[in-house]
Amino acid sequence: MQPLVQLHARVFGTLEAHVAPALIPTLARLLFVATLFLYYWNSGLTKLGEGVLGLLRLDSGAYIQILPRVFEAAGYNPSALGPLAKLIVLFGTWTEFALPILLLLGLFTRLAALGMTGFVAVQTWVDVMGHGAALGSLFDRHADALIDTRAFWLFPLIVLVLRGAGPLSLDALLARRQATPSAALTSASQPR
């Protein structure tokens, strides 16, 4: 039995030490991009106004989706909203594009994943409080409740916050570029 335990420890210890650091964050980014990138991209597109300035002049659907009760209280009139409400909707829409793009590229990944974690939390709150969606509960036999789905959304994001983007990312490229000049300076300053 002891040789089997040692073999197990050796095989999985090697995987943990040499494969997991690259594979886990890479798979987390791939999972996010494969399942949620287009979801957020298409959701963001529904909020844009027409034309070139659509990123600045949002469609009324943006207000309905992000601030449903506030927009209803304003008579579904965007001009009746205050500047704070308009900024919330504008930045919320921009965030829906920017953070997934950063995660796709693996650029500022930890911050982008942390931002997306907050975005999912706010989105869930709006869905429940503003749109009347049922949250559901964890540890029941139903795996399709809102809380269950969002828990699965959050998992790869938390992995990215903790582990970074992985080796196939702009973060890794920038880290290698930054390390190269400092390594060259260090070796150049060594006495010969």
Q: 152-189 burial by CB neighbour count: b if 16+ within 10 A, else e?
A: ebbebbebbbebbbbbebebbeeeeeeeeeeeeeeeee
Quote the tokens at residue 24: 């886990």
Using alpha carbons, list the distances in angstroms from residue 124 to 85, 117, 147: 18, 11, 8
- Predicted TM-score (pTM) of the model is 0.88
User: 144 — alpha (psi -120 to 50), left (phi > 0) or beta?
Assistant: alpha
What's the rounded Cα separation, in Å, for the pair 84 and 99?
21
pLDDT at 95: 97
| Residue 136: φ, ψ to 5° | 80, -165
Give the closest residue to 44 by CA, choosing from 54, 34, 53. Answer: 54
User: Could you list the pLDDT tens digit for every one of the 192 residues in the chain?
Assistant: 899 999 999 999 999 999 999 999 999 999 999 999 999 999 999 999 999 899 999 999 999 999 999 999 999 999 999 999 999 999 999 999 999 999 999 999 999 999 999 999 999 999 999 999 999 999 998 888 999 999 999 999 999 999 999 999 999 999 999 988 655 555 555 655
Give the closest residue to 44 by CA, choosing from 59, 28, 29. Answer: 59
